[in-house]
Structure 1
């Protein structure tokens, strides 16, 4: 049993509740105590960290003494990195290849999620039960602070039904989490997953039948659903809309609030640390620094001062023991605020330069405009063997251009043909049978602002 699995949910909740009144120095004390425990645990239980830290002093006095780590490095050394010898990359890959196991526990005790690889490297991340308790408690008690008591009452009175509108193409965090909750209480019908891969008309019909009170998903999905509501086809009245995974722009927030007359809650997190931040009443992201160490850095991993945009971020997840993440690089660009937030909470404020793909609009044979969700296309392509990086660019009302980088070990012609056929099959399900798909001679390129590979956008001349 790991250290974190011994922490009871009640103790975790009480700790999170007390911290909201703490001073910054109290938060720092909690953070440093947990960091010391994590480093000691990693050195004793992870062969990877034992080797990486072998030349370092026994007592670490500064986080900067520890070398940063990257996703590609950790994935390469997966079996040495994990702290449970029963966990292996081979068995985890077998687990995530089985779609029927989504929402189930790996080895009967671990939550597993995969990442799409927005920087070109897909990942497999595992949480122990203690970490899962911490992250879910942070979401429940800090991620919902914008909800008023009247909102809570409405949610209960209206039946408390939760709809998770997400990608169902793999063991992604949103899908896995929703399925895990559903499987715990299969008979109460309080949570249901809706696939972004369904035709829009089908998605709208299913949501109308379910009548969710809480609606969760991505900003681009909610934007399309808002248009369906305005057009009179979607007839739901959610009390709250929970967003994550994409940058939420102010105009889209305003549209969602106006159309649905609902409370909009946003969160910046990652598969590696789902509850990195929470949004306060002022609309600012606060870092959960009692459980997450957040370091904005430049390209040389040197600290970036508040007020200046970082090149990337190093995070240390103080909750997870099965896969210790210590100074792990996320390629997000952020700005740490110079000033404390007006809400009065002791947690630091950040601004995030996120990556949002465009909603593509194609013309059907009957002249109707069909909206295509970027995440639906993205998850289709990234699951094709041999695809390393890709970008999809709409270059005409009936044409899609593909930039593709492939693994060396695969037949390039076959990988391209698989990508093309998968996209054509998906477009056909959406009623688009005349789309032309062309392969570009250019390789995918990073977005100069976010540092990530934007996957999908409109490039009409």
Structure 2
């Protein structure tokens, strides 16, 4: 963490020097140890490679990763079949060790695209991503040491099968007490836990934070947080205004992915997400397919400079965002994202009962046979369309989802699951909306 803190004050030249160093190291490892990249990088000399040479390398998609997983990983002991078997054992509770082969973390995701991917974190990935996630908070603590009890409530996935449970319930402050709370709990239970714990900081999904603001306005939630951070979903202006009115503080936004770790964090000036350019190379692509330094980006090509057990070089992220031509006051040499789109999770409302999409994702996103999915809410449950790549026990999926909805308080839930050849996408962007709530 001390080194990561110093990097916030780097010049643009220092950032690009680190990108060049990390890129050459990543290329060398991938070329030597990954059969997939050995073929793709044939003729590339890592020792003389520059940032300007990156566009000559063919991009990698999530489909590429899933098709060539065994050839991409740099550890020959690891296979996709073994990884899927490990996740299946965790789901079935026949395995309680969250670490694959005792040293790697696995997480399956659908992301904003809706296509399933399975990604692997090594120790370097976790440590680096954790430092990026919390370094702005750590620097603020150095400048203004917190007083009183130090307690952080983290509202995240209830299971380690989802990366939010792995990365967010941590802190660089060893004296800070952390309470993970499952996002699948009812809002009443979450309020009770927060009232009992009395956190001075909250880390949460954006939509749940909006619910908590409503509970605080109604007098049910009685806490006095001094810092709030959100992730995984779009942050609305209404949520910012509500926390300002309730507690006199703004919300720190965060943007990340299981593939890349923490891509952007918001500092104490609340002027946009600072891109983590010291650990990733971000190529913003506009509607015409051109690389831009600032402006509206249709998608990104990202090269991760750490966690090289599963290297990702020019990996496509489908998030749409606006990059400001001006840097952040918290880290002036780093580019800044002033507007972020592409994350579309919504609440499903059944009468008075709210259900987070995590409930559906926890079943559908972990099944290897499911390639893509779309969940359309009905009055008593959901209609779900699946694109599959292998035989699938549809009645089992249906029973699991019914059980999950019932556990959330939905009365007599009904689930209809069908296998289809294609899913409807946005006519202009081509993106898939994974969760469609009733209007």
Q: Same fold (TM over 0.5)?
A: yes
In the alignment, what sits opposite 1:7? Answer: none
CA shift for structure 1 position 30: 1.8
CA shift for structure 1 position 51: 1.3
1:260 and 1:444 mapped to 2: Cα distance?
A: 43
In the alignment, what sits opposite 2:126? Answer: 132
- Check conservation: 1:31, 1:290, Cα contact below 8 A: yes
In the alignment, what sits opposite 1:21? Answer: 9
Counterparts in 2 of 1:130 and 1:420: CA distance versus 1, 3 Å: closer
1:47 equivalent to 2:30? Answer no
Q: Select the residue among 156, 163, 173 that pairs with 1:173.
A: 163
- Check conservation: 2:385, 2:418, Cα contact below 8 A: yes
Larger mean CA deviation between 314-323 and 226-235 belongs to 226-235
In the alignment, what sits opposite 1:153? Answer: 146
How many residue pairs are counted as aligned between the two chains? Answer: 428
In the alignment, what sits opposite 2:383? Answer: 402
1:286 and 1:89 mapped to 2: Cα distance?
A: 34
- Check conservation: 1:143, 1:279, Cα contact below 8 A: no
Larger mean CA deviation between 60-69 and 352-361 belongs to 352-361
SS in structure 2 at match of 1:283: coil
1:441 and 1:178 mapped to 2: Cα distance?
A: 35
- Check conservation: 2:213, 2:243, Cα contact below 8 A: yes
Please show how residues 38-437 of structure 1 align to structure 2 within 5 Å: 38-56=26-44, 59-61=48-50, 62-99=53-90, 104-142=98-136, 149-150=143-144, 152-154=145-147, 157-158=148-149, 160-177=150-167, 181=170, 190-280=177-267, 281-298=269-286, 302-304=290-292, 306-307=294-295, 309-341=296-328, 345-350=332-337, 351-363=339-351, 369-383=352-366, 386-394=369-377, 398-407=379-388, 409-410=390-391, 415=394, 417-433=395-411, 437=415
CA shift for structure 1 position 262: 4.3
CA shift for structure 1 position 419: 4.6
Instruction: List alignment gaps of at least 5 residues for structure 2.
Output: none
Counterparts in 2 of 1:21 and 1:212: CA distance versus 1, 3 Å: closer
1:103 and 1:354 mapped to 2: Cα distance?
A: 33
1:450 and 1:148 mapped to 2: Cα distance?
A: 43
In the alignment, what sits opposite 1:10? Answer: none
Question: TM-score normalised to the size of structure 2?
Answer: 0.85
- Check conservation: 2:181, 2:190, Cα contact below 8 A: yes
2:428 and 2:161 mapped to 1: Cα distance?
A: 29
- Check conservation: 1:401, 1:440, Cα contact below 8 A: no
Question: TM-score normalised to the size of structure 1?
Answer: 0.82
Instruction: List alignment gaps of at least 5 residues for structure 1.
Output: 1-12, 364-368
SS in structure 2 at match of 1:445: coil
- Check conservation: 1:246, 1:355, Cα contact below 8 A: yes
RMSD between aligned residues: 3.1
In the alignment, what sits opposite 1:444? Answer: 423
Larger mean CA deviation between 402-411 and 193-202 belongs to 402-411
Q: Deviations over 1:299-326 (max 9, x none)?
A: 785414522x323211011122211111
1:440 and 1:418 mapped to 2: Cα distance?
A: 13
In the alignment, what sits opposite 2:436? Answer: 457
SS in structure 2 at match of 1:267: strand
2:126 and 2:407 mapped to 1: Cα distance?
A: 36
Larger mean CA deviation between 320-329 and 377-386 belongs to 377-386
Counterparts in 2 of 1:299 and 1:107: CA distance versus 1, 3 Å: farther
1:324 and 1:146 mapped to 2: Cα distance?
A: 32
